[in-house]
Amino acid sequence: AQSVTQLGSHVSVSEGALVLLRCNYSSSVPPYLFWYVQYPNQGLQLLLKYTSAATLVKGINGFEAEFKKSETSFHLTKPSAHMSDAAEYFCAVSWNTGFQKLVFGTGTRLLVSP
């Protein structure tokens, strides 16, 4: 079965430090890739998406992600963390199977300390 793996259920960084959240997917078929953020008691908000255009994708709030086909990865980065970035981040993948069922990773909670 196709799957998505997020390495690290929790990631802690200091304010101003680099943020790196990892995501790998299981299929060799090029997928559509997404990163969503979820703030406490809120729904999911799309950060960015890859849909076979540029491999480096820029999203909201200074986040970006790079699609690497050879590594089947789509890691999320931000050069400098803010306190407001503390949230849970989900990587999601869909394959063009006729409808866009999203397969989610298990999520990574980002903790930002002063």
Partner 1 sequence: GAGVSQSPSNKVTEKGKDVELRCDPISGHTALYWYRQSLGQGLEFLIYFQGNSAPDKSGLPSDRFSAERTGGSVSTLTIQRTQQEDSAVYLCASSLAQSGGSRNEQFFGPGTRLTVL
Q: Collapsing DSSP states into helix, strand and coil, what is residue 70?
A: helix
Minimum distance from residue 106 beta carbon to partner 1 (Å): 5
Contact indicator for 8, 108 with CB cutoff of 8 Å? yes
Name the site residues for partner 1 (rule: CB under 8 A).
32, 36, 41-46, 49, 51, 90, 92, 94, 96, 98-107
- By C-beta, is 81 or 91 nearer to partner 1? 91
Residue whose CB is less far from partner 1, 106 or 113:
106
Nearer to partner 1, 31 or 81 (CB): 31
Judge whether 75 and 55 are in contact, CB under 8 Å.
no
The nearest distance, CB 60 to partner 1, in angstroms, is 13
